[in-house]
Amino acid sequence: MRAVDGVDLDIRRGEVFCLVGESGCGKTSTGKAILKLVEATDGDILLEMPEGEARAYEDVRQRPDDPEARKTLDGLRRKYSVTWKESLPWTVEQALKSAGAFLAAVFLAIVAPSLLLAAVVEPFGDPWSTIGLCVSIGLILGLIGSLPPTRLSRRTRVILTLLALGSIIVAPISALSLHRALVGDVSRFDVGAALATPWTQELAAMLVGFAFGAIAAGGSSSLLLDWRSRSEGMAGIHMRSIRRRLQLIFQDPYESLNPKQSVYEIVSEPLAVNRISTNPGETSALVREALTDVGLRPPEEFLFRFPHELSGGQRQRVSIAAALVLQPDFIVADEPVSMLDVSIRTEILQVMMELRTRRGITYLFITHDLSLAWVLADRIAVMYLGKIVEMGTTEQVIGHPMHPYTKALISVVPSPDPRHKVERIILKGERPDPSDIPPGCRFHPRCPFAFERCGWTAEEVADQLRSLKAGGMLATASGVDLSDAGNVRLSMGGGGPDALVRELNALVSERRETLLPLKGIAAVHATNGFVELSLHASSEPPLLEIEPGNSVACHLVSPPATVSESLTA
Amino acid sequence: MGTVDVVKVPGAISPFRARATVVSRRMQDIGLQVFHNKTAMAGLIILLFFTFLAVAAPLIAPYSPLTAVPDVGPLTLPGGVHPFGTNQFGYDIYSQVIWGTQISLLVGVLAAGVASVIGTAVGLISGFVGGWIDEVIMRFNDVVLSIPWLVLMIVVAARLNYLDLAGIILVIGLTGWSVTARVVRSQVLSLKERMFVERGRMIGSSNAHILLRHIFPNAFPLIFANTILTVAISILSESVLAFLNLSVKSNVSWGRIIAEAYQHDALTIGMAAWIIVPGLCIVFLVFGFYLFGYALDEILNPRLRRR
Amino acid sequence: MPALLEVRDLTIEFRTKAGIVHAVEGASFNVERGEAMGLAGESGCGKTTTALALMRLLPYNGRIVRGSISFEGRDLVPVPEDSMRAIRWKEMSIVFQGAMNSLNPVQRVGRQIAEPIMLHEEAEPEASFKRAGDLLELVGISRNRLNDYPHEFSGGMRQRVMIAMALACNPKLVIADEPVTALDVMIQAQILDLLERLRRELHLAMILISHDLSVLADTCEQVTIMYAGKTMESGKTMDLFTDPKHPYTQGLVGAFPDIRGPRNMPEAIPGDVPSLISPPSGCVFHPRCKFAFDRCTKAEPALTELSVGRRAACFLYPQVTEVPPRPIVITEV
């Protein structure tokens, strides 16, 4: 079931982009997918791609079969996509490196600790338990070493290298001291003489194990980690930094806060989780600043309150503060005010807009309330059943809607001013289940302007004919079925087909404007005892740019030449 | 919205202080609610009474429970210095009853603690991780649950011939974790879907962080109330085991007293108190835990969401 | 001829552990036959409580302490419970808030609609079922769906079922509490359209309760605005919305964005809704009112007629008098 199907959105920095639609249209899923709360099945989320490269991306997207285009696409994705995962082909060099790393890891895990402990084995007694212990320790170390890092910093790599280097120098000395301690030698330690003395077997083994193990550890983990970072593009390693810049404000101010946490903990949590500031002074300052920015003044009064001690508006402000504290560039707001009282909504919206000017935040506003989109948004995209049907600036989409769904939707939005009464286009029926999406244009079953190309299926036409028959028409037909070829077939009760053919033709020409499925009928002909109806070819209307910045997905507005024909059934 | 005293806040707030302030406020809040709840107070009074008995036993019991009293012989009828009489060895029953409180409370609380810790851990992991691990654990849980708990406990206790205090605690604890695990798991399953957990994921919390900071604190009220009720069950279990002579032999337990009274036909020989008083003690102690646990559940799990 | 429903000085209190909640204070309005009246206000203003009181369905700790509810000239407040049964659902019915989610999930819809018919009119099951089918058709659902379960219907259709249920015994007045709040805007339009059609065809009087003024602007002839239990203003829709007299009404009307108006950010009303246990002194709105002056903190303005059909409770208007302190007469409800 595709909740969202091939949605393209371009959101410019600093703008308020509204995604509107009714329930089940996929707007919330889109918003969450951008923040990777929901895994996108396919597609790219591209962050901060410059104009030139954006055009290149669009270009190469059109040519999926061109290998040159593929390479460019992969390159662009590697640089800018948050969701890209690359699968690199294996070269000989990489294979050898990986094999070496694997062997080194095995050595580290099993052999080195065994050698180490074998050198000091006497105190342990039972050899099997010693080996068992070695192997367990080795495996644990190996497991820890192979876990994907949640946060790899330069610091970690540097530490690993230093450890490797240091152990080469430190290991012999500590090994020697240990050995001397074990044999009860308390004489003075002459490093030079020690290093020159021929070593015992155990000592050598210990030393080799230590040094080799340490180098192997540093080297292999470095290689393994490096391999991973190449294959995950911007994601994986850098998701942490991405998360800072993209945030979400949830719809329900009552549910989205942990009832057991105080306001301070809620707002400081993102900082702690992302290890951004560990210093309590810095954290408190950032929390206070965030609370002040959302209008909770003085912040001290709210720091230790629980969510249930706050009003709805205050809770939503805390939500926003928690999103702000990471200094994001981009905030997805999922119906942030729909659960608040009307007189409080404006305050929250004002806070959000003020933050936009002050902190330069870009918003993706998801809402079902078109009047809110009208006053807030710079640009709007209207969604229906997982697809964008119209997109453009607010004036274009709401002032001069072109898609029939948009027109209908706008017409039924009530106004607080009773003088602004309009002719309402009330669509019949309800939106279909997302698991059963109509073919052709998804909106065609409810569209008051649907015509031939919009995707009338044989079932729809058949249903229409059946209800006509139940109302007394088509008396000479005994049944309406679907043929194997997918056309509509009427079986004859008695008498010739000609009368039926005439009746059908008359029906189609007279009643097609009121009984829209009839428009799907292309031709009526009689064939071996049946009357068959062939249907028009239909296709899904693509989202085309009609005017600069304004795109519509509707056959009524797109020129026929650009529509690729595909036969139904 | 409640009124809150503005907390004097210095510049820096350490995470420890943040948590501590929150926890202490919550404790105060809960304490007040308990104080005003009649059921809770009734239960609490009963519990405090028995705790007093247990703690002060060495001081208030007139005789040692396992030493024959010097003044009268065995199986003396109740009267005078021996309000409940003496048992077949000449031990003062009144003292035995007082000392028995210790075992019941100790075993009850500790065994419930063991069961609770195990059950909570299992429930948290199973519910949170889900998948095949959850399936495996739950099927194992089903097996443990389908065996009658009493039978299981008796069999385990009987197999281990030597049972000290720790032993009996472990036996009861290790057989009693299944219900807690189930309860905690279902709570975790519903908490997992809550919006604030989703928010936690969104800001990049690791699974461990979500489990510890979001799931566990919200499951804790249920866990705590459940633990109190588990204590009640543990006390009963210990009494049963003691009655069957499967409990710790060196100490005095109410169940043991009842067993001995039963063996010597206490009711017919005019020593009704011998069998009835320990029984009543068990009943009241368990009842106390039930009252308190039930009221606490009400307090900690407000059904009405305040808007 | 008296109005179908005349409510005067209705005052309702709730006894709670935290104190007495003054849920509704001095509510007064009229509803004529066949007229749609809107009852508007934000959460906690008392509109649902008023509706429940009209049907005498207040919870055990609520009581009507003062006032009268005249239905066809007869005061319902002192009417005993068993007589109330003859009125409830037969003369006056209600579609509860969120009722579409409280249909019995294991009972077929036809049975649920037929039940009130069987109970109130003591009709035979067959006749009741037939009538249930008629009612479904009336609200735009095919009668074939009588045997379906609630979960087989979408939200909008369940709401239609609730409306059918409310019409089961041919009442004269239907109260609809937030009938379209949880629905998509297109379904909202369908339901409002349905209500309008039913009102015309059946000459029904309606009280529409909503926090969404835009919905009421479209459908009602007159509107009453409530805040924190008190009635602030009432009047004909057109007049009230285009020229609101009370500062709260002004603020509320300004708080809704108008898709057919200029692209201005809606206005905010600063502050929060007050506690109903200890409301502010004087005019309950004064802490948030930008026009408040001294008298507003001391005395409570009474709902006074400013012009024909228009009433407001605000001292800005010289005709408005003060509410005198009155003894409380508790009526056992």
Residue A491 lies inside a defined structural domain of this protein: yes
Give C85's pLDDT tier (boundaries 50, 70, 90): confident
Q: Domain total for chain B?
A: 1
Q: What whole-number distance in Å separates Cα of residue B259 and Cα of residue B242?
A: 8
Q: Which of C193, C260, C268 sits opposite A350 (nearest CB)?
A: C268
Q: Is the pLDDT of residue B104 over 60?
A: yes
Contact (CB<8Å) C258/A413:
no
Q: Which residues of A touch B206 (CB under 8 A)?
A: 150, 273
CATH of the domain at B146: 1.10.3720.10
Chain A, 24 to 43: residues with Cβ < 8 Å from chain B are 35, 37
The model's pLDDT over C186-245, given as tens digits with 9 standing for 90+, comes to 999 999 999 999 999 999 999 999 999 999 998 999 999 999 999 999 999 999 999 999
CATH of the domain at A481: 3.30.1360
Q: What whole-number distance in Å separates Cα of residue B181 and Cα of residue B114?
A: 12
Closest residue of chain C to A407, computed from CA coordinates:
C186
**Range name among B21-30, B58-67, B152-161, B188-197 with the lowest pLDDT average:** B152-161
Q: Which residues of A touch B214 (CB under 8 A)?
A: 258
Q: Which of A311, A341, A417 sits opposite C258 (nearest CB)?
A: A417
Closest residue of chain A to C238, computed from CA coordinates:
A418
Examine the fold and report which residue of A231, A255, A284 is the final residue of a domain before the chain moves on. Answer: A231
Contact (CB<8Å) C242/A353:
no
**Range name among A231-235, A411-415, B132-136, B283-287 with the lowest pLDDT average:** A231-235
Would you call A147 an interface residue with chain B, using a CB distance cutoff of 8 Å? no
Q: Which residues of C touch A342 (CB under 8 A)?
A: 42, 211-213, 252, 255-256
pLDDT of residue A374: 94
Residue A493 lies inside a defined structural domain of this protein: yes
Contact (CB<8Å) A248/B202:
yes
Would you call A130 an interface residue with chain B, using a CB distance cutoff of 8 Å? no
Would you call B209 an interface residue with chain A, using a CB distance cutoff of 8 Å? yes
Residue (of A366, A339, A368, A373) closest to A35 by Cα position? A366
Residue (of A93, A106, A105, A95) closest to A221 by Cα position? A105
- Shortest CA gap A532–chain C (Å): 30
| Crossing angle of the two packed helices B177-192 and B131-146, in degrees rounded to 10 | 150
Contact (CB<8Å) A280/B205:
no
Q: Which domain holds residue A473?
A: 456-535
Closest residue of chain B to A35, computed from CA coordinates:
B202
Residue B258 lies inside a defined structural domain of this protein: yes
Contact (CB<8Å) C258/A416:
yes
pLDDT of residue A401: 92
Closest residue of chain A to C254, computed from CA coordinates:
A416
Q: What whole-number distance in Å separates Cα of residue A99 and Cα of residue A93?
A: 10
pLDDT of residue C68: 92
Q: What pTM did the predictor assign?
A: 0.77
Residue A179 lies inside a defined structural domain of this protein: yes
Whole-number percent of chain B with pLDDT over 90: 21
Q: Is the pLDDT of residue C181 over 50?
A: yes
Residues sharing a CB contact under 8 Å with residue A340, sequence separation 6 or more, in sequence order: A253, A312, A313, A316, A348
Q: Which residues of A touch C264 (CB under 8 A)?
A: 375
The model's pLDDT over B224-243, given as tens digits with 9 standing for 90+, comes to 888 998 999 899 988 888 88
- Shortest CA gap B222–chain A (Å): 13
Q: What whole-number distance in Å separates Cα of residue A344 and Cα of residue C270?
A: 8
Cβ atoms within 10 A of the Cβ of C271, count?
13
Closest residue of chain A to B220, computed from CA coordinates:
A260
pLDDT of residue A474: 78
Q: Which of A375, A414, A418 sits opposite C263 (nearest CB)?
A: A375
Would you call A248 an interface residue with chain B, using a CB distance cutoff of 8 Å? yes
- Shortest CA gap C173–chain A (Å): 24
Examine the fold and report which residue of A216, A231, A246 is the final residue of a domain before the chain moves on. Answer: A231
Contact (CB<8Å) A265/B306:
no
Q: Which residues of B touch A272 (CB under 8 A)?
A: 15
Contact (CB<8Å) B218/A239:
no
Residue B10 lies inside a defined structural domain of this protein: no
Q: Predicted ipTM?
A: 0.87
Q: Which residues of A touch B198 (CB under 8 A)?
A: 37, 250, 256
Contact (CB<8Å) A420/C43:
no
User: B241, exposed or middle or buried, with CB in 10 Å at 0-12, 13-18, 19+?
Assistant: buried
Give C30's pLDDT tier (boundaries 50, 70, 90): very high
Q: What is the mean pLDDT of each run of 10 residues along chain A (569 residues)?
A: 73 88 85 73 71 77 75 71 54 60 57 55 43 43 40 48 50 49 50 44 46 50 50 46 80 89 91 79 88 89 88 91 89 90 87 89 91 93 90 92 92 90 84 83 88 83 84 79 79 75 82 82 80 82 84 80 40
pLDDT of residue A6: 75
Read off the tokens for A320: 């926003």
Closest residue of chain C to A397, computed from CA coordinates:
C259
Residue B91 lies inside a defined structural domain of this protein: yes
Residue B120 lies inside a defined structural domain of this protein: yes
Quickly list H helices, C139-208. 155-166, 185-202
Would you call A274 an interface residue with chain B, using a CB distance cutoff of 8 Å? yes
Check residues A562 and C56 and name the one with the higher pLDDT: C56
Examine the fold and report which residue of A193, A216, A231 is the final residue of a domain before the chain moves on. Answer: A231
Q: Which residues of C touch A430 (CB under 8 A)?
A: 154, 156-157, 187
Give the mean pLDDT of chain B: 84
Residue A516 lies inside a defined structural domain of this protein: yes
Beta-strand relationship, A330-334 and A362-367: parallel
- Shortest CA gap A339–chain B (Å): 11
Q: Which residues of C touch A426 (CB under 8 A)?
A: 186, 189-190, 193
Contact (CB<8Å) B194/A255:
yes
pLDDT of residue C40: 94
Residue pair B73/B90 in contact (Cβ under 8 Å)? The answer is yes
pLDDT of residue B32: 86
- Shortest CA gap C162–chain A (Å): 18
Contact (CB<8Å) A262/B6:
no
Residue A237 lies inside a defined structural domain of this protein: no
Residue A520 lies inside a defined structural domain of this protein: yes
Residue B95 lies inside a defined structural domain of this protein: yes
Contact (CB<8Å) B12/A284:
yes
- Identify residues of C whose CB sits under 8 angstroms from chain A CBs: 42-43, 154, 156-157, 184-190, 193, 211-215, 217-218, 237-238, 241-242, 251-253, 255-261, 263-270, 272-273
Closest residue of chain C to A375, computed from CA coordinates:
C263
Chosen from A342, A344, A348, A372 to mutate, greatest number of chain C CBs within 10 A: A342
Residue B140 lies inside a defined structural domain of this protein: yes
Would you call B11 an interface residue with chain A, using a CB distance cutoff of 8 Å? yes
Whole-number percent of chain B with pLDDT over 70: 92
Residue A75 lies inside a defined structural domain of this protein: no
Q: Which residues of B touch A260 (CB under 8 A)?
A: 26, 217-218, 220
Contact (CB<8Å) B218/A254:
no
Q: Domain total for chain A?
A: 2
In angstroms and rounded to an integer, the radius of gyration of the C-alpha atoms of chain B is: 23
Residue A486 lies inside a defined structural domain of this protein: yes
b/e burial code for range B265-287 (CB count within 10 A of at least 16 → b): ebeeeebebbbebbbebbeebbe
Total CB pairs under 8 A between chain A and C:
124
Would you call B13 an interface residue with chain A, using a CB distance cutoff of 8 Å? yes
Question: Dihedral through CA A442, CA A447, CA A452, CA A454, nearest 10?
Answer: -10
Closest residue of chain C to A340, computed from CA coordinates:
C43
pLDDT of residue B131: 83
Residue B15 lies inside a defined structural domain of this protein: no
**CA B64 to each of CA B57, B97, B98, B138, C49: distance values in angstroms, whole numbers, following the listed order:** 10, 11, 10, 47, 68
Check residues C101 and A61 and name the one with the higher pLDDT: C101
Residue A494 carries which side chain, given as an amino acid letter?
G
Q: Which domain holds residue B50?
A: 41-70+82-300
Would you call A261 an interface residue with chain B, using a CB distance cutoff of 8 Å? yes
**Range name among A95-99, A346-350, B141-145, B181-185 with the lowest pLDDT average:** A95-99
**Range name among A167-171, B46-50, C303-307 with the lowest pLDDT average:** A167-171
Closest residue of chain A to B221, computed from CA coordinates:
A260
Would you call A310 an interface residue with chain B, using a CB distance cutoff of 8 Å? yes
Contacting subunits of B (3+ beta carbon pairs below 8 A): A
Q: What whole-number distance in Å separates Cα of residue A2 and Cα of residue A542?
A: 17
- Shortest CA gap B296–chain A (Å): 17
Residue pair C55/C94 in contact (Cβ under 8 Å)? The answer is yes
